[in-house]
Structure 1
Amino acid sequence: MEKKVNIHEAAEGLKNGKTILYPTDTVWGIGCDASNEEAIQKVNEIKNRDGEKSFIVLVDSVAMLERYVTDFPDVCYDLIDFTEEPLTIIYDQPRNLPKALLAKDGSIGIRVTNDMNCKKLIQKIRKPLVSTSANISGKPTATQFDEIDESIISSVDLILNERTKEVMRKPSSIIKVGSNHNVKVIR
């Protein structure tokens, strides 16, 4: 299989445990099927990152999000519905996700993506998608494909051949909604 693939080939690769380099609704990301622990470990290796760091997970809808969050405060519906920019929310007590994705405190950052390619990938694999910035840990985030480190390009299994000339935005805003329903802005 060619490394640069279309959305259908990318989805098949994700189902088979492959890692992918792909444009998100924020920046270029490295991802995999969020239920595949071997693929998650490979993403850590590609980024040269500490396995202790948590990941952001993308879902295609609030309905999918609710399958992975034990306590979904009502304020989250409003935050997701009314935000105009990509928003990642950190939730306490996630469920049905591998421990390899979670932060030390057991929380997880999840974003309902508005990007149509990301939605299609998620819908085709019927699982959340790991999303971490396409950079070596500690290095600047790439805002366009040409800025991605060659070691990442050579290490991922597949590259989604979409929007490679587009300048991406910036990372999402991140907030944490605690089990007491308090909202804290992280980024």
Structure 2
Amino acid sequence: MYEGALHLAPNVINHDGSIAIRLVQDPFCRHLVKRLRKPLVSTSANISGAPSPASFRDVSPEIRNGVDYVVEYRQDDETQARPSRIVRITKDGGLEIIRD
């Protein structure tokens, strides 16, 4: 999480003024961001308070049906993914582990 976000849509800024920035490793996602030459804005693939899905199969129908588009990529992949590590970068450059 990064504190002090500026010039972003209000719905992507947390109540404390911070934003989350994901550093993607997946080749498809990296290529998509590179081709768009813009950041992607997204929420998590779970309802707030629900467990993070470990694979596409675990994404709830409510989420799948509530989006504009679902990429047809790795939907049959059963490799169990771990939730992302979340680290807060403080204004003084310090790091605080939120989720490991």
| TM norm structure 2 | 0.82
For each residue in 1:58-103, what CA deviation from the matched residue of structure 2 results, as whole angstroms up to 9, or x when unmatched?
A: xxxxxxxxxxxxxxxxxxxxxxxxxxxxxxxx11222342222111
For each residue in 1:4-35, what CA deviation from the matched residue of structure 2 results, as whole angstroms up to 9, or x when unmatched?
A: xxxxxxxxxxxxxxxxxxxxxxxxxxxxxxxx
Relative distance call for 1:112 and 1:147 in structure 2 (3 A) is closer
User: Are residue 171 (structure 1) and residue 83 (structure 2) matched?
Assistant: yes
User: Are residue 183 (structure 1) and residue 95 (structure 2) matched?
Assistant: yes
Moved over 6 A (4+): none
Total equivalences in the alignment: 98
Q: Which structure shows the bigger proportion of residues in strand conformation?
A: 1
**Would you say the 8 A contact 2:55–2:81 is kept in 1?**
no
- Measure the CA separation in 1 of the matches of 2:17 and 2:84: 21
Instruction: Return 5+ residue gaps in structure 2 as ranges.
Output: none
Q: Percent sequence identity over matched residues?
A: 36
Higher relative contact order (CA 8 A, sep 6+): 1
Match of 2:18 in 1: 107
User: Are residue 145 (structure 1) and residue 56 (structure 2) matched?
Assistant: yes
Superposed displacement of residue 137, structure 1: 2.0
Q: Which structure shows the bigger proportion of residues in helix conformation?
A: 1
- Measure the CA separation in 2 of the matches of 1:151 and 1:181: 38
Q: Which moved more, 1:128-137 or 1:161-170?
A: 128-137
**Aligned alpha-carbon RMSD (Å):** 1.7
- Counterparts of residues 33-182 of structure 1 (less than 5 Å): 90-166=1-77, 167-182=79-94
- Measure the CA separation in 1 of the matches of 2:39 and 2:26: 14
Relative distance call for 1:111 and 1:152 in structure 2 (3 A) is closer
Superposed displacement of residue 179, structure 1: 0.9
Letter paired with 1:170: R
Instruction: Return 5+ residue gaps in structure 1 as ranges.
Output: 1-89
